[in-house]
Structure 1
Amino acid sequence: LHTGENLLSCPQCNKKFTSKQRLTVHMRVHSKERPFTCDQCEKRFKSKADLKTHTTLVHTGERPFFCDLCGFSFKNKKTLKGHTVVHTRERRFSCDECGKRFGRLSSLKTHQLIHIGEKKHQCGQCGKAFLHRSGLNQHKLTHSKRSFTCDECGKLLCSKSGFERHKQMHSGDELFYCETCGKACVSLSHLESHEVSHSTDRCHICEYCSKTFKWEVSLRKHIKVSHENKRYQCEQCDKSFTSKANLKTHQNRHTEKQQSVQNEARPSSEQIPLKQLVIRLHRVRV
């Protein structure tokens, strides 16, 4: 425990720290200084720890946090913790309107839209709106010529594989239910994939342009279309980059260096002879 003695205070916001190193890192919040640069995308960070986290999450693809119950892996502890409610069925978040309980705050917020009446997902063909994207996707099949109809319940499905999975739901096998919309899934992996449709989180980050995606397959498709075999080359040093944004960041550094050299080479008023200085100041001929 720290008693408050020998604490170092930030001169700008008075926040206190136990070491000079922590204070130094904190002050970069105010100065916007980012001395640590990623070798792969040239993004800058205020501390080595932030750079290491960025490298692990964006560039290495490591998923070091594993669920003990199903073996799923995650990039950080927060995502793993959110995942565990699938197994525990713990429902800590309660709706004030109807008392229904949820395991995740994001699920509660999505559910509350039912009471608000806000229908954000609108069909581009007929204008009909839905509370959930899953409802909109199901509705869109009514406009499609290629669909499969379930004889048991009349549900429409857009692919044969999805149709086969859906038929399993009527077979009496164990099902996994979405706590947000009640959809039944034939496996835990399908449930987790479905639950992403309710989430606003976009945890898959493009290493080339930092664009984010909900699904890894969407990220892979984006990289293939937007970045594969594309290189943007610097005209000054021939270094190449996979995105225009990274190239622009790199080119700005050339500009900064050139301006610095010009400023150093420019003579100060003390170095200019008095006669020339008078001419410049008064704009008269001598």
Structure 2
Amino acid sequence: MAKKRNLSNMVITCEWASCTFKGRSMEELSDHMSLHLKEHLGDGDPMEELDDYQCLWQGCEFLAMGSPNELIAHAHFHNFHSKLKFIGTQLLQSHPELPSCTQDLHSNNLVTDISEGFVCQWEHCDSSFNNPEWFYRHVDMHAHCTELQPLPDQQQALFCSWKGCDAFFKIKYRLREHLRSHTQERLVACPTCGCMFSSNTKFFDHIQRQAEPEDSLTCAHCDKGFANERLLRDHVRQHVNHIKCPLCDMTCTSLSTLKIHIKFRHCDERPFPCDFCESSFKNQHDLRKHMETHNEGAAYHCTVEGCGYSSRMAHTMKQHYKRVHEQGNMVSRYKCHLCDKNFSWCYTLTLHLRKKHQLKWPSGHSRFRYKEDEDGYLRLNMVRFETVEVTEELIKNMAEKRTPRKLSGSSAQTKRPALQAESMNDVPTPSPYPSSSSSSSSSSSSSMTVLVNDDNGALKDRAPVYCILSTVTEMNGDQEDTADSGVESGAVRALAAVARGLGMDVV
């Protein structure tokens, strides 16, 4: 449970333009910011739309397009962000054993994109705010005033009345904590890099991740090192896909990742239109990148002496610098696992795999991913991790897509106490391997091998599943009679090899 914040000694300096005002409460800081905004926006009609509204907070490059309300909400968020950084400073002072943050100082005053304010979606409440501090206090008051309601089993609970939510809790603290998932409220920020966090623990993790990693605490999947065991455990969970997209075979590690996937892959809504052309975009960031295409002349010039390259867009300038001025220092670390050709960039290897070897995205994958091998080269990663529930959904989907075929005997599936291998043959889903055009009975057949590993030798609801995408080549003899046994033996051998590579005992 988070401790109550002690803000009695809070002193926050206003960083608007060259202002040096120091506030000791959020009320004082908010009133002060309102004076800056009144001076900056003028006394005219507040709804009068100009071309843009520039934020004058030090180190901030925000530009509101078309509406002053967006700048007002953004400016007040700077005050709220400063409060969170003050809380972060207090926490670090009380834990002198923690290392220092070494992240980029340039982002210290960059805050979250805000459309035009904050809207409460509690039932029968449509209050809106342009100040995050008042918005979060308002939502917290809803939780404070919520009364216990009866449940069918004669118990009582506190129900969340946020739009579309049916969660309920036994104590008010849990309800208040839950509401932050709706409002995206953050409780602390790093005073060095400005990154915001929803709890003290996540803030401490951010600091501890920058400590020197222990040699013995290394992720077996990606070789990343960590300073303590809990960070390693949390990291390993990020390799496991817990959620399957209901619209395709994409699998995700979190609900937030799934929401982003659905928004960009399955939704056509583009609520951010360009004021200069008919283009529209799915988020504010993409709109701002697009707006750079309407710059007159070159807005960005290469800073390397003797280079006269210029561009209207920041990202093309970054690409120019990497390709032209960093190419000589680049090491070709990406290697094709099929022909051993080397590449300096992952996207050039991806193009090579797709065009030269006709590889496609495997079902359930968003893109090709690369993993460092023992020789130091990065090659295509053909292992993914799913929970049992997600794997069952994928197998069910693939079974529905293929034509049912009768499997002979009990050789279709082999089960052992600590290992379960299951081969899916003739699955009409993309594979990260080149498809063979040969029609002979000895041609390779695409298969997916599912490896379920459990420390206690039995399957659990949350047991990780290792999906090894492999090619079975042992399909000799009469294919109709021996295909199943050939697939089984080839799949088990491929399974065992990858399992041993992952440091697992195969019985």
> Same fold judged by TM-score > 0.5?
no
Q: Which has a greater percent of helix?
A: 1
TM-score by length of 1: 0.37
